[in-house]
Every structure is written in C-alpha cells, then in structure tokens.
Structure 1
Amino acid sequence: MATNHSFDIVSEIDFQEVDNAINQALKEIQQRYDLKDSKTEFILNKKEKVITLNTKDDYSRKQSIDILQSKFIKRGISIKAMKLNEPEPAAGGRIKQIINLQSGISKENAKKITKMIKESRLKVNAQIQDEQIRVIASKIDDLQAVIKLIKEADLDFPVQFTNYK
C-alpha cells in the first residue's frame, strides 16, 4: 500500500507582525522632517483585515504607504497581501486610504490554483478546503513540482505551504 504525502497551500498573515510593521512605520514617519507634521495614522482592524491610513495630503499618503510596504518586507510579510483602495477625502481636508489585507484564499483564487495544478498533468489531487487547498500525491517529487509550479506562477496574492507530510 503506497503512502500518500500532502501539504496545504494557504495565504496567511501574521497580524502581530502587521502590528509591528505599522508601529515601525509610524515611528519612521514621525522622525522624518518632511512627514513629522502630517499627523499620519495607521489604524489596524484585525477582525475586518483592514488598515486605515489617515494623513494630511497626497505626498504624505504616498510616502507613508512606501514606508509601510518596506516595513512589511522587513518583517517577512508579502506586500501582495496589501490591496490598496482609492484614496478618499477625510475630515479637515485630510486624505484617508483603506488597505485591505488579503488573508485566506478566496474561492475564485482557489479555483485558479486547482485549475493550474490539473493542467500541469502531475499525478496529484488538489482539494479546496475552506480558504486553503490540500494537495495529495503518492510521490514527494510530484508535491515538490506543484510547489515549484505555484511559486513560479505570477499570483497577485501571497501563498505559503504548510502541514507538509
């Protein structure tokens, strides 16, 4: 009886690291001569998976986003997890921007990945389970080929591979 091997494809965000990245970004913004008077805020809502940026103008908004993205990268969080909405006016002539954090693989993206795996003709079975995909194969080489395939695909959301058995 051949034993099966498996792993899960997930898209997870460590919200503690997001919190750390936000705190570091705010510290840097407050120290920068050109931004220290912008009264920039990042507010993280973990439940809604949203960061709200509130700042004084478009220049501060762009600089603040750049700084936050660099802090994400330093903390090992993919910036593909950030989905920037259009900036909008806020109270007092300020600007706000909502940043959605992508966590979990949507049904649409899960279908995209399973279709890609099927079309690869590898001898594996991919099943969508909630917001992740379980990939099962009898050969470890086939699983490694799937990981390589997914890593090389130009997905617009971050993925990790977990529960490798």
Structure 2
Amino acid sequence: MAAKENSFDIVSEVNMQEIDNALNQAKREIETRFDFKDSKSEIKFDGEIITLVSDDDFKLRNVVDILESKVIKRGVDIRTLKYGKIEPAAGDTVKQSVNIQQGIQSDLAKDIVKEIKKSKIKVQASIQGDKVRVTGKNRDDLQAVIQLLKEKEYDIPLQFTNYRST
C-alpha cells in the first residue's frame, strides 16, 4: 500500500460580499459626515474596480481612510486593495482607482515555490493557475510550510485551504 499523500492550496481570496458591505458602509459615512457636506466625494464600484472621487488630494485621502477602516472592520485584509495613481477628473475633482487583488500572480507564485524549495522541507510545491499546491507525505512538513510562509511578509494576504489526505 502506498504512503498517504497530504496536500493543501495556498491562495489569496477576497470575500467580495464583505468588500461590498464595507463599500456601502463607507458610502453612508461619506454621505452623513459634516466635513463631506457639499463635497463631490463618492465611491463607485463596478464589481471589479473601486473608483474613489473627491474634491482634492486631502479629501481623497480621507475617503481612502474611511474605506480602509470599513474594510478592516469587515475582516478583510487591506493588502488586497491595490491603489492606482491619483488623477485629475471632471469638474475640478480627483479620482483614484483601487483594484481588488484576487489570486496569486505568477511572479509571486514562483517566489513562494522557490522559498519552499529553499527551506529543504520534504514537500513538493507546484503552481496551479492562481494558486500554489503543496503536497507531502508528512503532515508536520505541511504545517512547517504554512508556518514558514506566515512568517514571510507578502504584498497580499495568503490563505491555506483545501487540506486533503489521500
């Protein structure tokens, strides 16, 4: 009988419902706050990209602060938010696009695989689309990989999912 193979996936996923909830809370706060009275500040979301609009850089910074505080309160890691450049927009306003980072980009996936190999832990790591699968015979080795990656600081939050024993 063959030895058991254990595996798990390293992913970076965002709960879009929580993002939506955070955006709605941020919009409500902007509508009711005194310092935003008569301001052109708003948050738009098309399901992919968040667009922040405000009167000037200072007010836009406040919109970002409100957004981030709501995202954190909803339990979403703010590293999932990737900010674009602040640009002039229509009607004497400024805007900024915010991408929601989902999945592990191939460069980062390669770095993660390289880091796992460098550690000499007896596991195999392979890139599968926008996630990394780690397999090994020993569960303790898989735990060691999770610990190793948790200690590293990456630009995006990583989750360890799909733990299997075959």
Q: Tell me the CA shift for residue 20 of structure 1.
A: 0.6
Work out the number of aligned pairs and report it.
163
CA–CA separation in structure 1 for the residues paired with 2:124 and 2:61: 43
Per-residue Cα deviation, 1:56-78 (whole angstroms, up to 9, x for no partner):
11121001101111111111111
1:110 aligns with 2:106: no
Q: Tell me the CA shift for residue 157 of structure 1.
A: 0.9
> Residue 82 of structure 2 corresponds to which residue in structure 1?
83
TM-score, scaled relative to structure 2: 0.94
Q: Tell me the CA shift for residue 39 of structure 1.
A: 3.0
Q: Tell me the CA shift for residue 144 of structure 1.
A: 0.7
> Residue 58 of structure 1 corresponds to which residue in structure 2?
57
SS in 2 for 1:34: helix
Per-residue Cα deviation, 1:44-94 (whole angstroms, up to 9, x for no partner):
222xx3111111111210011011111111111111111111100000000
The 5 A counterparts of 1:1-165 are 1-46=2-47, 49-165=48-164
Q: Tell me the CA shift for residue 26 of structure 1.
A: 1.1
Identity %: 51
Q: In the alignment, is the contact (CA less than 8 A) between 1:26 and 1:40 conserved in 2?
A: no
CA–CA separation in structure 2 for the residues paired with 1:163 and 1:56: 45
CA–CA separation in structure 2 for the residues paired with 1:54 and 1:129: 37
* Structure 1 unpaired stretches of 5+: none
Per-residue Cα deviation, 1:121-146 (whole angstroms, up to 9, x for no partner):
10011010000001001111111111
SS in 2 for 1:85: strand
- Match of 2:130, as an amino acid? E
- Match of 2:4, as an amino acid? T
Q: Tell me the CA shift for residue 164 of structure 1.
A: 0.9
Larger deviation, residues 68-77 vs 125-134: 68-77
RMSD over aligned CA atoms reads 1.0
Per-residue Cα deviation, 1:8-66 (whole angstroms, up to 9, x for no partner):
000111111111110011111222211233232212222xx311111111121001101
Q: In the alignment, is the contact (CA less than 8 A) between 2:30 and 2:42 conserved in 1?
A: no
TM-score, scaled relative to structure 1: 0.95
- Match of 2:84, as an amino acid? N
- Match of 2:64, as an amino acid? I
* Structure 2 unpaired stretches of 5+: none
CA–CA separation in structure 2 for the residues paired with 1:8 and 1:45: 29
